[in-house]
C-alpha cells in the first residue's frame, strides 16, 4: 500500500473505531471525530514523533486534543499505535475505564484534560514555551482545535502569545467542519476568516482540504519547516465524513450513530491496521538551570513587611536554590513582586501580559514537563481564569498560584481590585491547598513548602505592610495553625489582615478582663481540625473574621472542620457583607465589621449569650 492509500485506510479505521467506541459507550461524539480522522491518520503516519511505549521520553512530541469531545478519535489513534487494545477501546465512557468521555491524564499519553473548549491551544503554548525556553529540546506541540472553540477568547490569547513569542514548534490543526453543537459556527467554512485572524497574530497559515491526503501531507511537511512563526493548518472538513446518515448534517452532534453497522459498511468495514509513528531522536536531555546555595529571606520580628513582598523575595531565593522553579505573571509583577524573581532569573520568568487564562494554561503546560510554575496576579483577577484552574485539577496538574491584594484592606482602588471570593473559589477546587499567611516569615516558609506540594496550590497575600509576628525559624506546616494567644473565654480566628485585627481585639478584651485565644489559621485547606476542636471545647465559643465575603471562606471552613470533628460550639462569622467602595484600609475594615473593635464586640456578644 502506498502512503496515501495507507493513510486513507487508516483514517477509515479511525472513523470506524470512533463509531464503534461511541456505540459501545452509548454516547460520545463520533461525528466530531470523523471530520478530523484524515488529519490524525497523516499525523500518526510520519509526523508525530512519539514513542508510545515510553511516554515519559523527554524527546516526545506532544499531542493535545483541544476539542476534547473528539475523544473517540483519540482513543482510536491509541489503538492504532498499539497503546490500547480493542477491548479497552470498547470500554469507552464506562464506569472505571480510563477512556473517559473527555480525555484526562489517567492515560499516560494525555498531557492534560480537555473538554472545556478553548483550553488546549493555550496549554499548548505553555508546552511550546517549555520546549523553547526551559527544556530547550526540539519536540513539537500539535494541537487539534475545533472550529466552534475558536470563539473562546482564550484561543485568541494563545494565538497572540504564540505569535509574539515566535513559537514555531507549535502547530494548530483547526478542524473546520462548519457545524457546532446547535448549528453553523460563526464563520462556517470561511477558512479565510480564521486565516486572517491567525495571520494578524503572527502565524503562518495553510489552508487545505482536510480530507485530501496529499494536501494534508504537504501542509504537515510545510509546518515542520520552522520559520520563526507558529503554524495553523486550517482544514475544511465535513462533520461525520463518510457516512450518509450524518455527513455534514445538523443535529448530529454528540450522539452515537443510529445505524452504526451501516455506517461501518459505508466506511469499508472494520480494519486492524497498525501504525508506528516516527520515534523522537534518541538521547534528548532537558536543559537544567544551575542552582546555588541561597538562604530564604528572614525578617526581624516587628518589621513592617507586606506578605506580597515577602512572596517575591521568597520566590527569588527559592529560584536560586531550585532550577526547576519558574514564574509567570499577568503584567502586574511590580505589584505581586514576582519582578524580584524576574530580575534574578530572567530565563525562567514568563511575562503573560494581561491574559490570565493564558497565564494559567501556560503554567499547566509547563508542569507537564516537570517544571514548578508559580503564577501570580491580583487575587481578584484569578477569577478570570477560574475555568482553567478547575480544569487544571482535572488534569491532575501541580501549579502554584499567588493572588495578591486580598480584600477590602487594599483600600482606595475599590471593589473591582479586591479579592473577596478567591478563598471560596479556590477551596472548591478538587485537591487544592489554600494558604493565607499573616506575616513575612510565615509567607517565606509556606512558599518554600509549596514547590513540592502537588495539586492546585493557592497562596493569598495582602497589599499593605504589617508587622512581622514570627521569627524566621518558626515552622508553619501546611495543615497547621498557630495559637498566638492562649485564653479560655473565647476564641478569635483570623488569617492575613484579620489576624492582626484579632490580636488587637484580644488586647481590647484583655483590658476588660476577658481572655481570648487567638488562632492564626494560615492554612485554610487543609485545615487544622484538632486545634479548632480544642478551642471549641476549651473556650466554648468562636469568632471568625475574614477579609472576604462570608460565603465559602475562612468562616465556613471553620464550621466544616468543627462539624467534621463532631464538636458543637457557637461560632460567629465576620466577613464583608456590603459592597465596599474606596477609602483607607482602616476605614474599610471598620465599615466591613472585621476590624479589631468589631471582632471584640462579636466576642463580647458571644460571651453574653
Contact status, residue 403 vs residue 460, Cβ threshold 8 Å: yes
Among 4, 57, 193, 449, binds a copy of itself (CB under 8 A): 193
Q: Is 100 in the site for a copy of itself (CB under 8 A)?
A: yes
Which residues make beta-bridge pairs with 64? Answer: 143
Cα–Cα dist 56/53, whole Å:
9
Distant-in-sequence, close-in-space partners of 563: CB < 8 Å, separation ≥ 6: none
Q: Is 27 in the site for a copy of itself (CB under 8 A)?
A: yes
Among 2, 283, 416, 608, binds a copy of itself (CB under 8 A): 416
Nearer to a copy of itself, 159 or 325 (CB): 159
Among 55, 138, 415, 464, binds a copy of itself (CB under 8 A): 415
Radius of gyration, CA atoms only, the chain: 27
Query: Residue 231: in which H helix or E strand, if any?
Result: strand 231-236
* Interaction residues for a copy of itself, span 497-536 (CB under 8 A): 525
Q: Please, what is the minimum distance in Å from the beta carbon of residue 186 to a copy of itself?
A: 5
Q: The cell 480494519 sits on which residue?
A: 271
Nearer to a copy of itself, 1 or 537 (CB): 537
Binding range to a copy of itself, per CB under 8 A, among 76-84, 207-215, 286-294, 382-390: 382-390
Binding range to a copy of itself, per CB under 8 A, among 35-43, 92-100, 221-229, 440-448: 92-100
Among 213, 358, 461, 498, binds a copy of itself (CB under 8 A): 358
Cell (9 digits) for 351:
511575562
Cα–Cα dist 172/225, whole Å:
14
Reduced to 3 states, what is the DSSP secondary structure of residue 419? Answer: strand
Q: The cell 503546560 sits on which residue?
A: 365
Q: Is 57 in the site for a copy of itself (CB under 8 A)?
A: no
Q: Is 482 exposed, middle or buried (0-12, 13-18, 19+ CB in 10 A)?
A: buried
Cα–Cα dist 462/472, whole Å:
19
Q: Is 84 in the site for a copy of itself (CB under 8 A)?
A: no
Q: Exposure string (b/e) for 324-362, b if CB count within 10 Å is 16 or more?
A: bbbbbbbebbebbbbbbbbebbeebbbbbeebbbbbbbb
Q: Is 390 in the site for a copy of itself (CB under 8 A)?
A: yes
Nearer to a copy of itself, 6 or 549 (CB): 549
Nearer to a copy of itself, 31 or 445 (CB): 31
Name the active-site residue from 356, 421, 501, 546.
356
Contact status, residue 444 vs residue 282, Cβ threshold 8 Å: no
For the chain, what's the residue count?
609
Could you tell me which of 432, 426, 332 has the C-alpha nearest to residue 375?
Answer: 332
Could you tell me which of 216, 257, 209 has the C-alpha nearest to residue 17?
Answer: 257
Q: Is 601 in the site for a copy of itself (CB under 8 A)?
A: no
Cα–Cα dist 382/252, whole Å:
37
Whether 597 is catalytic: no
Q: Is 93 in the site for a copy of itself (CB under 8 A)?
A: yes
Cα–Cα dist 536/386, whole Å:
34
Among 289, 560, 593, 597, binds a copy of itself (CB under 8 A): 560
Distant-in-sequence, close-in-space partners of 309: CB < 8 Å, separation ≥ 6: 337, 440, 465
Site string for a copy of itself, 198-237 (x = CB under 8 A): -xxx------------------------------------
Could you tell me which of 378, 366, 376 has the C-alpha nearest to residue 325?
Answer: 366
* Interaction residues for a copy of itself, span 7-26 (CB under 8 A): 25-26
Q: How many residues form the binding site for a copy of itself (CB under 8 A)?
A: 114
Q: The cell 511575562 sits on which residue?
A: 351
* Interaction residues for a copy of itself, span 317-346 (CB under 8 A): 331-335, 339
β-strand pairing of 204-209 with 523-525: unpaired
Nearer to a copy of itself, 104 or 441 (CB): 104
Q: Is 312 in the site for a copy of itself (CB under 8 A)?
A: no
Nearer to a copy of itself, 117 or 484 (CB): 117
Q: Is 108 in the site for a copy of itself (CB under 8 A)?
A: no
Contact status, residue 362 vs residue 329, Cβ threshold 8 Å: no
Among 88, 550, 604, 607, binds a copy of itself (CB under 8 A): 550
Q: Is 537 in the site for a copy of itself (CB under 8 A)?
A: no
Binding range to a copy of itself, per CB under 8 A, among 12-20, 36-44, 298-306, 548-556: 548-556
Contact status, residue 249 vs residue 25, Cβ threshold 8 Å: no
Q: Please, what is the minimum distance in Å from the beta carbon of residue 358 to a copy of itself?
A: 8
Phi-psi group of 585: left, alpha or beta (phi > 0 → left; psi -120 to 50 → alpha; rest → beta): alpha
* Interaction residues for a copy of itself, span 565-584 (CB under 8 A): 566, 568-573, 578-579, 581-584
Nearer to a copy of itself, 101 or 230 (CB): 101
Nearer to a copy of itself, 300 or 412 (CB): 412
Among 14, 107, 117, 450, binds a copy of itself (CB under 8 A): 117
* Interaction residues for a copy of itself, span 60-79 (CB under 8 A): 68
Cell (9 digits) for 600:
471584640
Nearer to a copy of itself, 149 or 217 (CB): 149
Q: Is 433 in the site for a copy of itself (CB under 8 A)?
A: no
| The CA-based dihedral angle spanning residues 593, 599, 600, 604, taken in that order and rounded to the nearest 10 degrees | 90
Binding range to a copy of itself, per CB under 8 A, among 10-18, 418-426, 445-453, 596-604: 418-426
Residues assigned a catalytic role:
356
Amino acid at each position: 500500500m502506498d502512503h496515501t492509500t495507507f493513510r486513507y485506510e487508516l483514517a477509515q479505521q479511525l472513523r470506524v473505531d470512533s463509531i464503534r467506541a461511541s456505540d459501545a459507550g452509548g454516547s460520545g461524539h463520533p461525528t466530531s471525530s470523523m471530520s478530523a480522522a484524515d488529519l490524525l491518520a497523516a499525523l500518526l503516519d510520519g509526523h508525530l514523533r512519539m514513542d508510545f511505549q515510553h511516554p515519559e521520553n523527554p524527546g516526545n512530541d506532544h499531542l493535545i486534543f483541544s476539542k476534547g469531545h473528539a475523544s473517540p478519535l483519540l482513543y482510536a489513534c491509541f489503538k492504532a499505535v498499539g497503546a490500547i487494545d480493542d477491548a479497552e477501546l470498547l470500554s469507552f465512557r464506562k464506569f472505571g475505564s480510563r477512556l473517559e468521555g473527555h480525555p484526562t491524564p489517567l492515560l499516560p499519553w494525555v498531557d492534560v484534560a480537555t473538554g472545556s473548549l478553548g483550553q488546549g491551544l493555550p496549554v499548548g503554548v505553555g508546552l511550546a514555551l517549555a520546549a523553547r525556553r526551559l527544556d530547550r529540546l526540539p519536540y513539537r506541540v500539535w494541537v487539534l482545535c475545533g472550529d466552534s472553540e475558536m470563539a473562546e477568547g482564550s484561543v485568541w490569547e494563545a494565538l497572540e502569545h504564540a505569535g509574539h513569542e515566535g513559537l514555531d514548534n507549535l502547530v494548530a490543526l483547526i478542524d473546520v467542519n462548519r457545524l457546532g453543537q446547535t448549528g453553523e459556527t460563526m464563520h462556517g467554512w470561511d477558512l479565510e476568516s480564521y486565516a486572517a485572524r491567525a495571520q494578524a497574530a503572527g502565524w503562518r497559515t495553510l489552508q487545505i482540504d482536510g480530507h485530501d491526503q496529499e494536501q494534508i501531507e504537504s501542509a504537515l511537511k510545510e509546518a515542520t519547516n520552522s520559520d520563526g512563526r507558529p503554524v495553523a493548518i486550517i482544514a475544511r472538513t465535513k462533520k461525520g465524513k463518510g457516512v450518509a446518515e450524518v455527513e455534514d448534517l445538523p443535529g448530529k452532534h454528540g450522539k452515537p450513530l443510529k445505524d452504526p453497522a451501516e455506517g461501518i459498511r459505508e466506511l469499508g468495514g472494520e480494519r486492524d491496521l497498525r501504525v508506528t509513528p516516527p520515534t523522537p531522536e534518541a538521547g534528548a536531555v532537558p536543559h537544567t538551570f544551575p542552582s546555588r546555595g541561597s538562604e530564604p529571606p528572614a525578617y526581624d520580628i516587628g518589621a513592617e513587611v507586606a506578605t506580597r513582598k515577602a512572596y517575591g523575595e521568597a520566590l527569588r531565593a527559592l529560584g536560586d536554590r531550585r532550577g526547576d522553579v519558574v514564574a509567570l505573571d499577568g503584567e502586574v509583577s511590580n505589584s505581586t513582586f514576582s519582578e524580584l524573581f524576574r530580575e534574578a532569573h530572567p530565563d525562567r520568568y514568563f511575562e503573560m501580559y494581561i491574559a490570565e487564562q493564558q497565564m494559567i494554561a501556560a503554567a499547566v503546560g509547563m508542569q507537564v514537563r516537570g517544571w514548578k510554575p508559580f503564577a501570580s496576579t491580583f487575587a481578584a483577577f484569578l477569577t478570570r481564569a477560574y475555568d482553567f484552574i478547575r480544569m487544571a485539577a482535572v488534569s491532575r496538574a501541580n501549579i502554584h498560584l499567588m493572588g495578591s491584594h486580598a480584600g477590602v484592606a487594599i483600600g482606595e482602588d475599590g471593589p473591582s481590585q479586591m479579592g473577596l471570593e478567591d478563598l471560596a473559589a479556590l477551596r472548591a477546587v478538587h485537591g487544592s491547598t489554600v494558604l493565607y499567611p499573616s506575616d513575612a516569615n510565615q509567607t517565606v516558609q509556606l512558599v518554600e513548602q509549596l514547590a513540592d506540594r502537588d495539586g492546585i496550590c493557592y497562596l493569598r497575600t495582602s497589599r499593605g505592610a504589617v508587622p512581622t509576628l514570627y521569627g524566621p525559624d518558626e515552622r508553619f506546616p501546611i495543615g497547621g495553625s498557630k495559637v498566638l494567644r492562649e485564653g479560655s473565654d473565647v476564641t478569635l480566628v483570623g488569617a492575613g489582615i484579620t489576624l492582626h485585627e484579632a490580636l488587637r481585639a484580644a488586647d481590647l478584651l484583655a483590658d476588660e478582663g476577658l481572655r481570648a485565644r487567638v488562632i492564626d489559621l494560615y492554612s485554610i485547606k487543609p485545615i487544622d481540625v484538632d486545634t479548632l476542636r480544642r478551642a471549641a471545647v476549651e473556650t466554648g465559643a468562636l469568632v471568625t473574621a475574614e477579609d472576604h465575603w462570608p460565603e465559602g471562606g475562612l468562616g465556613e471552613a471553620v464550621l466544616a472542620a468543627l462539624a467534621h470533628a463532631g464538636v458543637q460550639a457557637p461560632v460567629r462569622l465576620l466577613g464583608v457583607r456590603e459592597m465596599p467602595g474606596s477609602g483607607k484600609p482602616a476605614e474599610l475594615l471598620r465599615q466591613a465589621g472585621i476590624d479589631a473593635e468589631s471582632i471584640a464586640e462579636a466576642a463580647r456578644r458571644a460571651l453574653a449569650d
